Chains A and B, each alone.
Chain A
Amino acid sequence: MLKHLFKLIWNKKKQNFLLMSEMLFSFLVLFAVFTLLVYYYNNYKKPMGFEYKNLWVVSYNNTFKSKSTDSVNRYYETLRSTIKAMPEIRELSFCSNNVPFSNSMWTSLVTYNKKQTSPVNWYTSDDGYKEALNAKVLEGRWFNKADAIGKYEHVVINNELKEKIFGSETAIGKVLGNADDKQRMQIIGVIQGVKVKGDYAPSGYALYHRADTGAFRWFGKIMVKVAPNTGAAFEARLYKTLANYMKDSNVEIEHMVNKRTNINYFTLVPMIVLTIVGSFLIINVALGLFGVLWYNINRRRGEIGLRRAVGATGGSVSSQLITESMILATISLIVGTFFAVQFPILNVFDLSAGIYLMAILLAVIFIYALVFVCSLYPGRQAAAIYPAVALHEE
């Protein structure tokens, strides 16, 4: 039966060629849209890794100028205790500029056993950072004062980096090197990845350094965790305190909740636009397929009438027509999948192969469903043809 259907299709290859190319392009468009959706959804499923509610970030520039590191440190430690003394403040931490949901990035390499991993985000922060962000420690511990001295610098990494380098082994106590394997760093803890680029982006590899004595010279952010339901009145007071203390700096306070909305916007808007455009293209294609199939069946009334006259049931006629369209779809999907499979093979865009395969699978199912639905009605119509009428027309 299939062989016979192939012959029928082959005889009308010119007509079918256009139909098939249309299916092929729809498949490719769907593949692109689904890849994006699956990628975003995969990231969305993972935990945030920190609590952004009641978390504010203070930015300041023009750090305190002084020749002596001690007086710089004293200056900021005074500020720290001033703020910490406020009852609404739960925790605060000075840190490098690459705070969550900001556009600032600082990436480098790490080396372990001569193997380099990149890009790794380098964060620098002090001991209160974990508490401020409410990050989750999976193994080992976060920094404390005891980490200031030691043979190696102590660092904390995130789970993604640990999985990448150590797999299922423990990472605690292992020693990493930087890009040229000079600076040695001993891992003392592993935390859950913090999604710094919003809900729909991966957390990436991360490595946390403990602030050393000179860090205040280049820090420019303070993460502040406040009590729930702290309002603008307190914020204004905090702002005045900061601005009056740091007279030479421009100060800004931002809420992580708003920053998250903004950064998600950048992923959501393209996603919504693509989905709208994609779905209208698909509606367009569906209507076209429907029209062409319907027309083709109308032209084959004689053939169908003859089959009915010889004794074929209505069901077998309509299933023949549906199978024909399904074979057309299969041929275009084979070609389309051949193109789509190149993406995981050549590792384009650095996404995991699973995402591409899932997208291919979804797109294939979608196209089959589409073609099936579009050929259902014309098939039913064909089944309803009376042989006497159809044969009379000829």
Chain B
Amino acid sequence: MLKNYFKIAIAVLRRRKFFTFISLFGISFTLTILLVLTSFIEKIVGDSYPDRKRDRSLYISKFQSKEKDGNSSSALSYYYLSHYVGGLKTPVKLGISSGYNGTNTYVNNKKLAVNYKYTNADYWDIMEYDFIEGKALTKQQVDNADKVAVISEDMKRDYFGDVPSVVGKYIEADNVKYKVTGVVKNVPITSYMIYSDIYLPFTVSKTDFRKGKGYQGDFYGIMLANSTADLSKMCAEYDAMVQRLPKENKNVVKMYSHADSYIVSYVNTGNEDKSGVTIVLTAIGIFVLLVTLLPSLNLVNINITRIMERSSEIGVRKAFGASSKTLVYQFIVENIILTLLGGLIGVVLSFVAIQVLNGFNLIPNLILSVNFTVLAIGLLICFLFGLLSGVYPAWRMSKLNVVTALKAQ
């Protein structure tokens, strides 16, 4: 039966080529937009290089303190992370790293803008950077405040040029010479908690982070649990710790900080009243709705037009005893075949669009790709599209009166 439907669908498609073109154009283009969006989101939140242990890590990115006359919210201080978060029982490791900050270095009268980042030793145990050469910062180097650095591939190329090995050489940044101990694969800037050109031990900083008793600063924390089962326990322990925090001064009314999964902490606004997750989901939802609504309406319009053209066929089938249900089913299947065909074209177009986007290199090192997840989502969207745009016209059709349908000839 399905084979027959398929044959009929193809025959109908070839009947009015202009309408077929309109339908396919609408479907494939909408799908392209959605697939590029999905692949972008997938890349930003789903790509787990270099923090491959995401499933058993919790991220701490913001600390908000509500005061009598306002609000202050920022990343955390080293003191807070090492002293309070370091005292928790559940985490086996606590990676501490600063946000990236800019400085300059000058090589043969050429200026390089460099982003540097301070880390502790645990950070390198949690992260699984791909080392092109050399190795990570060790605990001993951090404790001794050795002037050593791990640099990114791009940094190596820009600073040293095309040389095979740079481990042991010196790189000058911010007027200080650091010895290179390792070179890692690039991380795109969109992973703002992890990205940097140069990674340094936090002990070499010109600021001594171990002084100062404030809670807010420029650091992010990553807590690693023994297993995924411990996550909820770790989260609860963290929340309890925040509840017990002594107030920094008299003006503080309440303090908020959460240990979240990567995605939640990624979109954390740092304001308890504005959930970042909600904002992002709403924005994406509205966008998707707009992009799909118009082509859907268009498809419904075109489909109704095409069905009415086939009224004689419908009349004959009904006269010979086909039930409305069968006809509706047939039409929806036909429509799904059409949308899947459009979907195929859409996937091809997405490949092209993503290649073009990668060619532009809008965000360095953010290489978009169409992977299985993206394709599966695309297929699902197509299927829904087919159902949505097929149901109403099919229902209209099934209500056709046999006599009028036949008379239309």
A256 CA to B18 CA in the complex, in Å? 52
Bitwise, B173-184 to A at CB < 8 A (1) or not (0) is 011000000000
Asked if A240 contacts B103 (CB within 8 A), the reply is: no
* Among B52-60, B223-231, B295-303, the stretch in contact with A: B295-303
Residues of A within 8 A of B110 (CB): 232
- Considering only residues 267-293 of chain A, those with a C-beta below 8 Å from chain B are 269, 277, 280-281, 283-285, 287-288, 291-292
Pick the residue among A250, A254, A288 that contacts B174 (CB under 8 A).
Answer: A250
Answer whether residue B25 sits at the interface, using C-beta atoms and an 8 A cutoff: yes
Instruction: Tell me, in angstroms, the Cα distance from A248 to B300 when the chains sit together.
Output: 68
Q: Which of B272-297 contact A (CB under 8 A)?
A: 290-291, 293-295, 297
Contact B22 A291 (CB under 8 A): yes
Minimal beta-carbon separation of B365 from chain A (angstroms): 16
A248/B206 in contact, CB under 8 A: yes
Chain A: CB-nearest residue to B19:
A291
Contact bitstring B187-215, A, C-beta under 8 A = 1, else 0: 00000000000000000001100000000
Contacts A29-B294, A236-B106, A281-B294 known; A295 to B174 CB distance under 8 Å? no
Chain B interface residue count, Cβ-Cβ cutoff 8 angstroms: 37
* Interface membership of chain A positions 338-371, coded 1 if the CB is closer than 8 angstroms to chain B and 0 otherwise: 0000000000000000000000000000000000
Q: How far is the CB of A275 from chain B (nearest CB, A)?
A: 13
Instruction: Give the docked Cα–Cα distance between A380 and B218 (Å).
Output: 69
Q: Which residues of B contact A240 (CB under 8 A)?
A: 175
Any A CB within 8 A of the CB of B68 = no
* Interface status of B111 (Cβ within 8 A of chain A): yes
Size of A's binding interface in residues, CB under 8 A: 41
Asked whether any CB of chain A lies closer than 8 Å to the CB of B4, the reply is no
* B168 interface contact, C-beta 8 A: no
A15 at interface (Cβ–Cβ under 8 A)?
Answer: yes
B298 touching A254, Cβ below 8 Å: no
In the assembled complex, the CB of B188 is this many whole angstroms from the nearest CB of chain A, namely: 15
Q: Is A316 close to B, CB under 8 A?
A: no
B206 pairs with A250, CB closer than 8 A? yes
CB closest residue in chain A, given B206: A248
Would you call the interface of chain B mostly helix, strand, loop, or mixed? helix
Q: Are B106 and A25 in contact (CB under 8 A)?
A: no
**In the complex, are the beta carbons of B101 and A288 less than 8 A apart?**
no
Query: Is A97 an interface position by the 8 A CB rule?
Result: no
Q: Are A284 and B293 in contact (CB under 8 A)?
A: no
Q: A123-146 interface mask toward B, CB cutoff 8 Å, 1 = contact, 0 = none?
A: 000000000000000000000000
Partner of A291, one of B104, B305, B362: B305
Interface residue stretch chosen among A16-24, A69-77, A162-170, A195-203? A16-24
Q: Mark A58-74, 1 if CB is under 8 A from B, else 0.
A: 01011000000000000
Query: Given that A236-B111, A239-B104 are contacting pairs, would A25 and B25 also be in contact in the complex, using a CB cutoff of 8 Å?
Result: no
18 A/B residue pairs, CB under 8 Å, sorted by A: A22-B298, A59-B102, A232-B110, A233-B109, A239-B175, A244-B175, A251-B103, A251-B175, A252-B101, A254-B102, A280-B33, A284-B25, A285-B294, A288-B297, A291-B18, A291-B301, A295-B309, A299-B308
Closest 5 A/B residue pairs (Cβ)? A243-B175, A236-B106, A288-B298, A287-B22, A22-B297
- A→B interface (CB under 8 Å): 15, 18-19, 21-22, 25-26, 29, 59, 61-62, 231-233, 235-236, 239-240, 243-244, 247-254, 269, 277, 280-281, 283-285, 287-288, 291-292, 295, 299
Q: Which residues of B contact A (CB under 8 A)?
A: 18-19, 21-22, 25-26, 29-30, 33, 101-104, 106, 109-111, 113, 174-175, 206-207, 290-291, 293-295, 297-298, 300-302, 304-305, 308-309, 362
